[in-house]
Amino acid sequence: MQPSDSEENINNFMAITGCQDYQKAQSYIQMAQDKLDNAIQLYFDFEGVQSQGTQQKPQQDQLQQRSNSQETPQGRVQNSNQSMRRQPQDDALIEKYRKYQEEKRAKEGIINKTFRIGAGLVSYFFKNAPNYGNEFLKYLQQQQIQTQIAFQSGNFQEKLKKANEETRPLLVYLHNHQNLLVLQKMSDCKSLVANLNRNYSILGLLNSPQVNEQFPNKPEPPAILIYKLDIVDEVVLMEQISLSLDTNFEVTAQRIKTIRAAFNKEYIYVENLKKEVNSPNQPNLNYYYNNQHPFQYIQQQQQTQVQVQKQKEDQRERDLLIQQQKEAYRFAEQQAMLKKQRDEEQRLQEQTKQIEQQQKEEQRLLKKAQLLSNLPEEPANTQGISILFRFVNATRTRRFNFSDKIQVLFDFVESQEDDCFNDPHAKIDLIQNFPRLSLKDKTESIINEVFVDSEMEQLIVDEQE
């Protein structure tokens, strides 16, 4: 049975570092969240310094004994601090951060007291800076580019500040229109995509003079640029990686993974320097190498950091879920509105059709009444010709003058009640049964010309389809 990924990382960790303590190796792997490179860096950062200090352990024991012999808490603090070796660069960074905090508080005080309106305007313009990240997302949609890289919306300054709050570096992908194949090749590298989405805040930007103004440097696209904020919130370019069709993105993935490991190390270091200024009475990890149990303290700090990071990730997931629910609600609302509009249009169409049908029916009934009123007066019983009309559902008999036109016969039939017909709206023809004769083409003829020397006739009312 092959070992699991975690077991393999522990074995590799012990082989590379020479650590013989399995539990300690496992703890370092857990602190680094199963990232072998980060665990090895943490080990050499802390255990390496500790091993160098083993030669000075007798002196440290003496200092510890002196510390225990002091009667006042102030004495114990002073002796403990004496056992911690401070580096010159640490003092310089602490002093730089202290001055930065003082200047920041002073500026905030002035703004709060004097320039509240101006500060509001500055905040307004900052929040309403051009959203170049959103332009890149629209570009991907227009070009129908499918990618699993989690590009975000926003501008450079805004995303860099947010990434710093989330304890992440900001990775900027600078793109131009001629390098779609490079972007596609980068998106096809699964290890790179997984590494980026897990460890970085990602901002995609289209190359333009306006976009280049946001960068401290002027890179040539296509390129990957990795930024962070230093101890005084100044922009620092950690790495710039030029891209082309010849780029090996598997190697790039390992390179970016190493950069994130360096960021983690730097972040722990800077945060503990900040504690020296913000919370001077708390023990500082950077000056805790020579204490008796540094590993347990490191482990506790790493666990706290993991918990904070997990809380942030949980909050991001909750925010994403809320956003998805809002979008789903808006979509459902739009669909309901569209359905309501379609139903209303259909109702109006049916209403219009019904009105038209009603108007046609009124016109038809009015025509029947007019035809009936315009019929020639029926002659006496001994005069004219008597015609029997056979309808589908009834028969009618009436006398007509020999001088009447055949059209008068059609007008009489059309003026009869709807019950006489199978379909009152159908066109009709009058058929003489014997000899077989259709009268629809003889409407202008005189009855005497069609029915010569006849005093009685029968006509069939034929409803045509």
Are 458 and 401 within one domain? Answer: yes
CA–CA separation, 132 vs 354, rounded Å?
Answer: 55
For residue 162, being part of any structural domain is answered with yes
pLDDT, one tens digit per residue, over 198-234 is 889 999 998 888 887 777 777 888 999 999 998 888 8
CATH of the domain at 148: 3.40.30.10
pLDDT band for position 306 (cuts 50, 70, 90): confident
CA–CA separation, 221 vs 156, rounded Å?
Answer: 16
Give me 115's structure tokens: 């320039």
In the chain, the number of structural domains is 3
Are 45 and 181 within one domain? Answer: no
Give residue 146's pLDDT.
87
Give residue 129's pLDDT.
65
Report yes or no: 203 and 154 within 8 Å, Cβ to Cβ: yes
Are 262 and 119 within one domain? Answer: yes
Are 43 and 102 within one domain? Answer: no
For residue 398, being part of any structural domain is answered with yes
Are 22 and 148 within one domain? Answer: no
73-102 core/surface letters (b: 16 or more CB in 10 A; e: else): eeeeeebbeebeeeeeebeebbeebeebee
Mean of the pLDDT values across residues 165-194? 90
Are 76 and 104 within one domain? Answer: no
CATH of the domain at 402: 3.10.20.90
Are 71 and 139 within one domain? Answer: no
Cis peptide before 222 (omega within 30 of 0): yes
User: Torsion over CA of 325, 330, 336 and 341, rounded to 10 degrees?
Assistant: -170
What pTM value is reported for the model? 0.45
For residue 318, being part of any structural domain is answered with no
* 346 SS3 class: helix
Are 251 and 398 within one domain? Answer: no
Q: Which comes out higher in pLDDT, residue 70 or 113?
A: 113
CA–CA separation, 463 vs 424, rounded Å?
Answer: 9
Cα atoms in the Cβ-side hemisphere of radius 13 Å centred on 21: 9
For residue 301, being part of any structural domain is answered with no
For residue 20, being part of any structural domain is answered with yes
Are 138 and 281 within one domain? Answer: yes
For residue 366, being part of any structural domain is answered with no
Give residue 86's pLDDT.
55
Q: Which comes out higher in pLDDT, residue 67 or 238?
A: 238
Select from 141, 154, 145, 208 the least CA-distant residue to 181: 145
Residue 114 predicted with pLDDT over 50: no
For residue 433, being part of any structural domain is answered with yes
For residue 120, being part of any structural domain is answered with yes
CA–CA separation, 253 vs 189, rounded Å?
Answer: 9
Residue 420 structural domain: 385-464
Are 395 and 253 within one domain? Answer: no
Strands, sheet with 235-242, edge to edge from the N-terminal-most edge strand: 201-206, 170-175, 223-229, 235-242
Give residue 381's pLDDT.
82
Q: Give the residue from 29, 47, 82 where a domain finishes.
A: 82
